Amino acid sequence: MTDMTSPAGTGPAFAVEMRDVSKVFGETTVLDRISFDIRPGEFVTFLGPSGCGKTTSLRILAGFEQATSGDVRINGQSVSDMPPWHRDIGIVFQSYALFPYMTARDNVGFGLKMRRVPKAEMAKRVEEALKLVGLSGLGDRYPRQLSGGQRQRVALARALVIKPQLLLLDEPLSNLDAKLRNEMRYELKRIQRESGITTVFVTHDQEEAFSLSDRIVLMSKGEIKQAGTSREIWEKPRTGFVADFIGVDNLLPGAVEKDGDELVVRISPSVTLKTEICDFAPGSAVLVAVRAKDVILNPVADETATGLNVFAGNIIDVEYRGERCACRVRCEGIDQTLVALVASSHVPSGAVTLSFASDAVMVLTDDR
Amino acid sequence: MADIRPKSAKAEMLLWSFGRVLFGAIGCLWLLFLVAPLVIVVAVSFTSANYLMFPPPGLSLQWYAEVMQLSWFRSSLISSFLIAAVSTAIAVVLGVLAARALSKRSFPGHMLMEYLVLSPLLLPGVVMGFALFNVLVLLHMEALGLPNLIVAHTMITLPFVVRSVWSTMAGSDASLEEAAHSLGATPLKAFRHVVLPTAMPGIVAGAILAFTFSFNDVTVSIFLASREAGTLPVELMADLEYSANAAPAAISSLMIVLMLLLFMAVVRLGGLKAFVNH
Ligand SMILES: Nc1ncnc2c1ncn2[C@@H]1O[C@H](COP(=O)(O)OP(=O)(O)OP(=O)(O)O)[C@@H](O)[C@H]1O
Ligand SMILES: [Mg+2]
């Protein structure tokens, strides 16, 4: 790619470009050829299980860690030789990393002090930043005199006040209780939208990722499994790992077979599943994913039921999930139990019939 | 669930309270042994008699007046102060840098540096002093006095500074420095605005230890002190050999007061506050 600027000529087309970035610590490969672009103003989330390399990616962007190979560009400029203090990046650490011997105001003003912003302007910008995060009036407090949520806001204000090119957030909400986390999530989104700063957010909480992000990068063991909007990932998980991670309840290993003109997936010697789309050749080992919400539970046992993906079974367990209940059903000829959702007001028991349409059957690679 | 209270709960309770009483008693005894000699020395220094006697037959300030007239007292007091202040200052600068290097990720020679910096803690002072003296004789520099003492005291007090600064640095959050970098602080600025303030409790503690150790040292200094540059403890030792009056007691009392004043000054300057804040 030679053209680095957008058609309108308003600057680089991408705020961040990662090209085949790898990171090796001693023997272990922590990042394996990560490639990814972030558009200016975008809110992107790195999502993945613990140890998959999210923090390492952030640290490479911030300049605290050097990529073993590959290229990182920020606003079109390669940053491999640029030390962290020249990168103009705001960071909120998981531990907040507030300077303990400085007041909230001095913490927020630190970046401006380093940039030799005149005193009067500095005071004004610090107050603005404190107001933006809803902390006006608490500027004289030391970090130890602030609650977890307030500390997090100070950390956010400190990162925002320098108007960085890029904002990096490493699980900033994970230390907060559920209620505060929801509030801060909303605040974060509002502040990011108002400031328009390109933001990379790291989390292992899929719900957090889905509610905040313009785009999600789902990682596993140092690789990107899927990148896309929340909706894309939710509706079309590309691999078994993604389906598992976003919480698809029914995951059944199987093999593709030819049945006349169509391809079906055999999940046990006696059971095959019909599907609409199957991109695999006959004989491939695959993972079938069916959402619990797509499984229709008929509370009467219908022994004679045949046809597309219909199974007789018995409810062995019911898990309360608020409005809905998840019924775990053991079906004949299937090793794994299947999960179906029913309204909590009418929970059946005993023998039932399960069915799901062939377009609810997602056939994916098994890369869990 | 089973009752976790044993039959002997009463006995255990009794033992527990007894243990606490015993602990308190040991503490009091400890304090008594520590303070009693000091009290005796201070009391004796106010004696009106011309010889050492406890309890003093009468009170007077004559020995303090006498001490003030002693020229070796005044000159050695100044030397001691100078040596302690300069060697502490140098030890703090070197100690902070060494602690910083040691607290960073390991580098070649890490272990060697660790041993080198901390070895004076393990060697007996007499051995250090004797060895240094021999080196100085070899170099024909044994008569220099003051500079020799400053260098020697820097060497023996450095480990105190390194130890205490290193432990505060090792215990501090590495992401603070990274946060400073991300906000635009160069390594030098991050050092000044983040690393130093974070290590301040350790620096203050190390400096107090270094200063008092230097000010009180006899074993190393005795090899290096010259007539012109004798430290107070060394001169006091020499004087004790042939004087039987209460002048040394007065000097000792003055040294006790000096140390107390020093600690109070440090507390005033926020040394202890720095401890409390973290
Ligand atoms: N300095 C290092 N030396 C060796 N291995 C490291 C180092 N830093 C990270 N790793 C390894 O790299 C892998 C990824 O670490 P990273 O911190 O990026 O994970 P993460 O996705 O942020 O996980 P979490 O959600 O638990 O924070 C881990 O297996 C970790 O052990
Ligand atoms: Mg992490």
ipTM: 0.82
Share of residues in chain A with pLDDT > 90 (%): 58
Q: What's the pLDDT score for residue B115?
A: 83
Ligand 1 — pocket residues by CB below 6 A? A 25, 28, 30, 48, 50-56, 204
Q: What's the pLDDT score for residue B226?
A: 77
Chain A residues 57-86 within an 8 A CB cutoff of chain B: 62-64, 83-86
Stretches in chain A below the pLDDT threshold 50: 1-8
The amino acid present at A288, given as its one-letter code, is V
Cβ <8 Å between B197 and A114 = no
Domains of chain B (ranges, CATH numbers): 70-275 (1.10.3720.10)
Residue A53 C-beta-side C-alpha neighbours within 13 Å: 26
Share of residues in chain B with pLDDT > 90 (%): 32
At which residue do the structure tokens 């001169």 appear? B235
Chain B residues 178-207 within an 8 A CB cutoff of chain A: 178-187, 189-190, 193-194, 197-198, 200
Least trusted range by pLDDT, from B158-167, B199-208, B226-235, B246-255? B226-235
Q: What's the pLDDT score for residue B3?
A: 66
- Span from the CA of B117 to the centroid of ligand 2 (angstroms): 36
Chain segment A5-54, per-residue pLDDT in tens: 444 456 778 999 999 999 999 889 999 999 999 999 999 999 999 999 99
- Span from the CA of A169 to the centroid of ligand 1 (angstroms): 16
CA distance B208 to chain A (A): 21
Residue A261: Cβ within 10 Å count = 5
What is the spatial distance between Cα B239 and Cα B33, in angstroms, rounded to a whole number? 26
Pick the residue whose CA is nearest to atom 11 on ligand 1: A30
- Span from the CA of A355 to the centroid of ligand 2 (angstroms): 41
Indicate the SS3 state at residue A45: strand
What single string gives the DSSP state of each residue in B34-72?
A: HHHHHHHHHHHHTB-SSS--SS-SSB-SHHHHHHHH-HH
Cβ <8 Å between B183 and A158 = yes
Cβ <8 Å between A110 and B193 = yes
- Span from the CA of B174 to the centroid of ligand 2 (angstroms): 15
- Span from the CA of A67 to the centroid of ligand 1 (angstroms): 14
Q: Mean per-residue pLDDT for B183-206?
A: 91
Does A95 reach chain B within 8 Å, measured CB to CB?
Answer: yes
The residue length of chain A stands at 368
Cβ <8 Å between B179 and A88 = no
Q: Given a cut of 70, is residue B2 above it in pLDDT?
A: no
Indicate the SS3 state at residue A276: coil
CB pairs under 8 A between A and B: 66
At which residue do the structure tokens 């107070």 appear? B232
What is the spatial distance between Cα B80 and Cα A306, in angstroms, rounded to a whole number? 101
B chain contacts of residue A84, beta-carbon cutoff 8 Å: 178, 181-182
Model pTM score: 0.81
Residue B100 C-beta-side C-alpha neighbours within 13 Å: 19
> What end-to-end distance do the CA atoms of chain A give, in Å?
34
Q: What is the DSSP code (8-state) at residue A322? A: T
Q: Which of B205, B129, B278, B65 is nearest to A142 (CA)?
A: B278
H-helix or E-strand containing A129? helix A119-132
Cβ <8 Å between A100 and B181 = no
- Please name the member of A64, A110, A162 whose beta carbon is closest to the beta carbon of B178: A64
Q: Which atom of ligand 1 is nearest to the CA of A25?
A: 4
- Alpha-carbon B57 to chain mean position: 35
Chain A residue with minimal CA distance to B186?
A85
Q: What's the pLDDT score for residue B82?
A: 94
What single string gives the DSSP state of each residue in A153-198?
A: HHHHHHHHTT--SEEEEESTTTTS-HHHHHHHHHHHHHHHHHH--E
The amino acid present at B201, given as its one-letter code, is P
Indicate the SS3 state at residue A252: strand
Chain B residue with minimal CA distance to A168?
B182
Q: Given a cut of 60, is residue B116 above it in pLDDT?
A: yes
Q: Given a cut of 50, is residue B111 above it in pLDDT?
A: yes
What is the spatial distance between Cα A55 and Cα A190, in angstroms, rounded to a whole number? 24
Among B106, B176, B177, B182, the strongest candidate for a mutation testing the A interface, having the largest count of A CBs within 10 A, is B182
The residue length of chain B stands at 278
CA distance B273 to chain A (A): 11
At which residue do the structure tokens 């056939």 appear? A363
